Amino acid sequence: MSRDLDIHVCIIEDDETIREGYAFLIGNTAGYKVISTYPSYEEAAKKIVHDNPDVILLDVELPGISGIDAIPKLKKVLPETYILILTVYEQDLLIFRALGNGASGYLTKNTSPQKIISAIHEVMEGGGPMSAHIARMVIQSFQRNEATPLTRRETEILEQIATGKSRKRIAQELFIDLETVKSHIKNIYHKLNVHSKADAIKAAKDNKFI
């Protein structure tokens, strides 16, 4: 029998219609098997370890513990299991918290059935499935603000400061004089209108200058 080769999926989703819809969809696709479905993390917590799924489809808005907060708890008992977030929310904060907590993918609920299936496959093959708009937001989170008032050297030095290095050490590593570093820092403070390391770092990060 080929059942052992199937990808084992669990679904945690409070809306019964959606939950059973996904279960039906996935369960009727060759190569996939739905082991169990739960309406909340609390319900899942008891038995999901024994289900030992390959992939969990997880909603973010759940009664009780939210999907976001459930991720680390699930990863703790099932470290090898991939967690795919399936939600209507496209807010940056939720996305980054989900990924930071250990989710391996993030899909919005308008994702077509075939794409959900292929996302499950993709995550098993070493991918990181994301809806198009989510991927854009993730990529944007890496990008700098081109309209920085800081010069290259200033940006470089501010980055070094943000790693906790002292001015002296920065000077040594950049092969310039300590006085030069101090000059750059003064200019940085003026441009950012701050009077301390911490405020400069915060201002620069808020504006994506570093």
Sole residue written with tokens 């300590």: 178
Identify which of 10, 24, 8 has the alpha carbon closest to the alpha carbon of residue 124: 8
Candidate ranges 12-20, 31-39, 51-59, 160-168; the one touching a copy of itself (CB under 8 A): 160-168
Minimum distance from CB of 36 to a copy of itself (Å)?
Answer: 24
Number of residues in contact with DNA under rule CB under 7 A: 23
Encoded one letter per residue, x for contact with DNA by CB under 7 A and - for no contact, window 154-193 reads x-----------xxxx----x-xx-xx-xxxxx--x----
Minimum distance from CB of 23 to a copy of itself (Å)?
Answer: 25
19 is a site residue for DNA (CB under 7 A): no
Apex 163 CA angle, 161 and 166, nearest 5: 50
Minimum distance from CB of 151 to DNA (Å)?
Answer: 3
Considering only residues 88, 114, 135, 195, which one is a binding residue for a copy of itself as defined by CB under 8 A? 135
Number of residues in contact with a copy of itself under rule CB under 8 A: 45
What is the secondary structure of 72-104 as a DSSP string? HHHHHH-TT-EEEEEES---HHHHHHHHHHT-S
Apex 85 CA angle, 131 and 17, nearest 5: 100
The CA-atom distances, in angstroms, between 146 and each of 137, 184, 189, 193, 200 are 17, 19, 19, 19, 17
Measured from the CB atom, is 63 or 205 closer to a copy of itself? Answer: 205
* Nearest 10 degrees: Cα torsion 132, 134, 137, 138: -100
The residues binding a copy of itself (CB under 8 A) are 72, 75-76, 79, 96, 99-105, 122, 125-130, 132-140, 142-144, 146, 161-166, 169, 196-198, 200-202
